[in-house]
Amino acid sequence: MAEPKQGLKIAVIGGGSSYTPELVEGFILHYHELPVRELWLVDIEPGLRKLNIVGSLAQRMVEKSGLPIKVYLTTDRRKAIEGADFVSTQIRVGMLDARARDESIPPKYGVIGQETTGPGGMMKALRTIPVLLDICRDIEELAPNAWMLNFTNPAGMVTEAVLKYSKVKSIGLCNAPIGLLKQVSSKYDVAPDRIYAEFVGLNHLHWITRIDVEGEDKLDEMLADTAGYSAKNVPANEWNPEFLRSLHALPSYYLKYYYMTDAMLEEQLGSLKQGKNRAEVVKQVEEELFELYGNPELKEKPKQLEQRGGAYYSEAAVNLMRSLYNGTNDIQTLNVANRGIIDFLPDDASIEVNCVVTKNGPLPLPLTKVPPMAKGLIHAVKTYESLAIDAAVIGDRDLALQAMVHHPLVPSVDVAVRMLDEMLEANKAYLPNFFHKA
């Protein structure tokens, strides 16, 4: 990438998100290493109100900083993408109502309802992948050298779809790895760059197999004290200590859906009975945030945003853009093409893995330990993911059925058939590939 004369152009697809102030804060803080001149916040028509609210806050934040960054608000995606250096995506096809359905339909069949894991995540993938590929068509045409940073969930599947079905240079990002580093960093009071944590697996399905703090192995200590490694959006059931000790690895908190399926499901059923679900909670938090954002006196990211659940997302994004721009060769945990790193998965499968971020993109680092226990589950979930990706791209019900049947959380063909029918029908408006084929 040649040095841009006029500074960098960034396009944020889904710019009306409540996360945007964090991103803007990052651009301001790291301006000297990442000279952003144009920040384009794009959203769709129905999101215009939020875009205007959060966009105005962004403009006030920039103004206060005194930096020569210009913030543009638009619904014209192509204009935003044209000539961009980085495109980030943080969209939610069908918005929080669709999420509520992803979370509430599966429990009716005795199956985990979650927005990235299980049948809910699959429906989200079916809705989202075609839209992302549509964005990629624009990038291929209007900004072929841009890097696309994908935060859109299910991030691993979306990234794999883009790797397989477009030419866009794309990287998938999650906040879980940076969250772990923060936790270790705070526990041992060391800078994150003195920690080497090795992640093995897929997005929302990783195991951490080594945690070296200044070269010393702290994995066993971390296994004995897992309290802190969690997230707002995953209930905090406790790990069985005997299990963790004999696993010799720290599982992602998303793995609770697989390792504690019964307890997690019970909790979901309890919440649903009380009329609560995670989507509703998030909706309310968002409402409150936008009320805050609308205050013309507010000129910085409000504290309350940190309770939203997606902590560190924007920090991860700014870190990655900065490293790509400067070729810092530092190590970050990213979602990229496998290319032999996990030896039993296809080369073009997306995995979540430590990478050296060079000016020409991330180079994945080989794994020094792979827990034999994890192989089957990784392969089972990747099997489901790859089937679901193809189902999404083609709009193929047969593939969608096979994907759902082979998801490890789905107990039978019979349940899969009935649940798929209901979920497809409920998402009809967002599945043109399935329902309105040319």
Picking from 110, 152, 147, the residue whose alpha carbon sits closest to that of residue 127 is 152
For residue 350, list its beta bridge partners: 337
Query: Shortest gap between Cβ of 143 and its own copies (angstroms)?
Result: 17
Rounded CA separation 50/38 (Å): 20
- Phi, psi dihedrals of residue 37, rounded to the nearest 5°: -110, -30
Query: Shortest gap between Cβ of 56 and its own copies (angstroms)?
Result: 36
Query: Shortest gap between Cβ of 144 and its own copies (angstroms)?
Result: 16
- In three-state secondary structure terms, 355 is strand
Picking from 43, 122, 104, the residue whose alpha carbon sits closest to that of residue 403 is 122
Residue with tokens 């905090």: 236
Rounded CA separation 235/261 (Å): 12
Residue 78 structure tokens = 């192509």
Q: Measured from the CB atom, is 28 or 111 closer to its own copies?
A: 111
Residues that bind its own copies (CB under 8 A): 1-2, 193-194, 196, 212, 214-216, 239-240, 242-243, 245-247, 259-263, 327, 329-331, 339-341, 343-345, 356, 358-360, 363-366, 368, 372-373, 375-377, 379-384, 386-387, 398-399, 401-402, 405-406, 408, 411-415, 417
Rounded CA separation 145/57 (Å): 30
Q: Measured from the CB atom, is 72 or 384 closer to its own copies?
A: 384
Query: Shortest gap between Cβ of 309 and its own copies (angstroms)?
Result: 25
- In three-state secondary structure terms, 193 is helix
Query: Shortest gap between Cβ of 225 and its own copies (angstroms)?
Result: 18
Residue of 19, 253, 254, 313 marked active site = 254
Q: Measured from the CB atom, is 188 or 259 closer to its own copies?
A: 259
Q: Measured from the CB atom, is 29 or 263 closer to its own copies?
A: 263
Picking from 340, 420, 361, 384, the residue whose alpha carbon sits closest to that of residue 109 is 420
Chain centroid to Cα 205, Å, comes to 12
Picking from 370, 365, 366, 399, the residue whose alpha carbon sits closest to that of residue 385 is 399
Q: Measured from the CB atom, is 37 or 375 closer to its own copies?
A: 375
Query: Shortest gap between Cβ of 244 and its own copies (angstroms)?
Result: 9
Residue 197 structure tokens = 């944590």
Q: Measured from the CB atom, is 94 or 251 closer to its own copies?
A: 251
Query: Shortest gap between Cβ of 46 and its own copies (angstroms)?
Result: 35
Other Cβ atoms less than 10 A from the Cβ of 359: the count is 12
Query: Shortest gap between Cβ of 396 and its own copies (angstroms)?
Result: 9
The packing angle between helices 372-394 and 118-142, to 10°, is 60
| Burial status of residue 291 (CB atoms within 10 A of its CB: 0-12, 13-18, 19 or more) | exposed
Could you write out the DSSP letters of every residue in 385-409? HHHHHHHHHHT-HHHHHHHHHTSTT
236 secondary structure, DSSP code: -
Instruction: Tell me whether residue 254 is one of the annotated catalytic residues.
Output: yes
**Residues whose CB is less than 8 angstroms from the CB of residue 176 and which lie 6 or more positions away in sequence, other chains included:** 204, 206, 231, 252, 253, 254
Q: Measured from the CB atom, is 145 or 304 closer to its own copies?
A: 145
Q: Measured from the CB atom, is 141 or 217 closer to its own copies?
A: 217
**Active-site positions?**
254
